[in-house]
Structure 1
Amino acid sequence: MDSPDCHVLSIQSSVVCGYVGNKSATFPLQVLGFDVSTVNSVQFSNHTGYKEFKGQVLNAEDMTCLYDGLKVNNIHHFSHLLTGYIGSKSFLEKVGEIIKDLRQNNPSLTYVCDPVMGDNGKMVGLNDDLWYVPKELLEVYQKVIVPLADIVTPNQFEAELLTGVKIETEADAWKAMQILHDMGPKTVVISSSDLGSEGTIVGLASSIKNGCKEHYRINMPHIPQVFVGTGDLFAACLLAWIHKDKNLKVALEKTVSIVQAVIQRTVSHALRLAGKGNTPTPEQMELRLIQSKADIEQPEITFEAVAV
């Protein structure tokens, strides 16, 4: 099914080599029939899990310049906006202004916000060999960005940061998700959490439409490897399938099934290259995204979302 009138503006990180940020999100969206225009919040040679990385970080002035170029040519017409990693407060504030401007141009714009701030209990920082997310971004997300979003896709740690709720039980998670709903988004998806039994990751999804609530839980296997770009892939696929199916349960199942298919293919390839007993390198663990084209186009639902 093509979506010829669907045009996504994706604002997030990018790398020359590998798959993270826009490099992880663009291909799936294009395969699923969306035109994609990209702004790279940072552009690095490779993701920061390698021993070194080189590149540039865009600032608010750069973002303004690019968007002004779109406006002056009247080519700032988008059906969807997707945001991911953004590394500076001024850049994020500028994105907030752009969202409002895009909505004036298209009041039905669907905005999917992946509030990339950290994982595993800590905000990411360059001193951790990860991208730096200044703590002052949190307030901008809370007061400006999340209230403008239609769909928000934090992981467990990011949901805790945004809401101030320590998520130790599933009840805590639903409480945090309701707080996020109260901020503005109609759909809230916690893409991953450690609320499952040993060896299981849990995803949770909640939607409020016309006063009606939907809650879903989906279990995924925990694979003890380091993956980069899977959250970006998740947000892009969720955007696409929610638009196509208009059904949160099915969209969640397809999204998780796609991400897990990519992960399994990536692990098998990496372990084969590394050899028995060896830990795969960051290069060997780059997502096998292109090789998963068929899974993205026609996902086989292998993970079921259960109504809660």
Structure 2
Amino acid sequence: MGDMGRGMYVSDSVVPLYREMVQYATIVCPNQFEAQILAEQEITSLDTLYAVLSTLHVKRGSPNVVITSVDLSDEDLHHIGAQPKLASDGTTLMTLIGSSFDHSQQQSSSSASPRELLRPWFIQFPEVPGYFSGVGDTFSALLIGRFDPSSTARSDSSAAPSHVARAAELAIASLQSVLSRTSEAISQAPPLPDNTQLTILAKAALPESAKWPTDQAEIDKLTAAQRRVEEMRPRELKIVQSKADIENPHVVYHATNFANL
């Protein structure tokens, strides 16, 4: 749907449909921007975080919510038992937050508020610097692929708070390996071709049925498009090269329940 600092990727007219579809999802895993759009509320504090989670669970109807990156103040991170955003070694830490909600439990515990029934947890892990394309989609695929209540919860002595939390641990482990391998490939990529070479590449990429333009403005457009292709080529996620890490992830970053507030 969109991202912080970039805005919407889709038309505003389809947002109500996204909100309506949440009730049919066993898991939703938006980023912070998307979670705010779906819940129609910004996350600026722990209270508003709880409000967004509650809306996605109770009003929108999804039993499991995983917000892939949440920007909280260091004070709020401390309150939930997490580390500051900037680690002592200078590494930037990202915070993923998830929760699960059992609607039947709400009915049997009429005196409990939705906030008391959310059972939120978090995972902190180091940011892999750089711009990558398709990270959210890859994480979603890994999360769904690992989510199996019959086997993932504590099958390997994991102390993860829930089935979806264990799936998130495994997904992050695989994704960190993919991003690290991709980052290494970017650092080793050769310099971009010059404009003359880019024009040659753009011409070679045209279908046989297409004619190369004679207008210089059109040629410049094709050359610029080829530049974007060459810039993104080394940034393609190294998923195939990370097959072993996807099949057998080594979990380093674990899910932890929120501290008692």
Structure 1 alignment gaps of length 5 or more = 1-116, 125-131
Could you report, residue by residue, the CA deviation over 1:66-88 in whole angstroms, capped at 9, with x for unpaired residues?
xxxxxxxxxxxxxxxxxxxxxxx
Could you report, residue by residue, the CA deviation over 1:3-35 in whole angstroms, capped at 9, with x for unpaired residues?
xxxxxxxxxxxxxxxxxxxxxxxxxxxxxxxxx
CA distance in 1, matches of 2:190, 2:45: 37
- Let me know the Cα RMSD of the aligned residues: 1.9
Which amino acid letter does the alignment assign opposite residue 254 of structure 1?
L
Structure 2 alignment gaps of length 5 or more = 73-83, 87-91, 106-116, 154-162, 192-229
Identity of aligned residues (%): 32
Instruction: Normalising by structure 2, report the TM-score.
Output: 0.64
1:123 corresponds to 2:33: no
Larger Rg: 2
Q: Could you tell me how far 1:249 is from its partner in structure 2? A: 2.3
| 1:1-308 → structure 2 map (5 Å cutoff) | 117-124=1-8, 132-142=9-19, 144-182=20-58, 183-195=60-72, 197-198=85-86, 199-209=92-102, 210-211=104-105, 213-243=118-148, 244-246=151-153, 247-274=163-190, 281-308=231-258
**Residue 36 (structure 1) aligns with:** none
CA distance in 2, matches of 1:184, 1:173: 17
**Residue 103 (structure 1) aligns with:** none
Change (3 A) 1:121 1:179: farther
CA distance in 1, matches of 2:118, 2:70: 21
Q: Could you tell me how far 1:194 is from its partner in structure 2? A: 2.5
CA distance in 2, matches of 1:289, 1:149: 26
| Paired residue total | 180
CA distance in 1, matches of 2:132, 2:53: 25
Which amino acid letter does the alignment assign opposite residue 285 of structure 1?
R
CA distance in 2, matches of 1:305, 1:294: 23
Q: Could you tell me how far 1:245 is from its partner in structure 2? A: 1.1
Q: Which has the higher helix share?
A: 2
- Name the SS of the counterpart of 2:85 in structure 1: coil
- Name the SS of the counterpart of 1:214 in structure 2: coil
Q: Which has the higher strand share?
A: 1
Runs of 4+ in 1 over 4 A off after TM superposition: none
Counterpart contact for 1:274–1:284, Cα < 8 Å: no
Which amino acid letter does the alignment assign opposite residue 225 of structure 1?
G
CA distance in 1, matches of 2:33, 2:6: 8
CA distance in 1, matches of 2:234, 2:170: 26
CA distance in 2, matches of 1:274, 1:120: 31
Change (3 A) 1:201 1:134: same
Which amino acid letter does the alignment assign opposite residue 139 of structure 2?
F
CA distance in 2, matches of 1:121, 1:164: 17
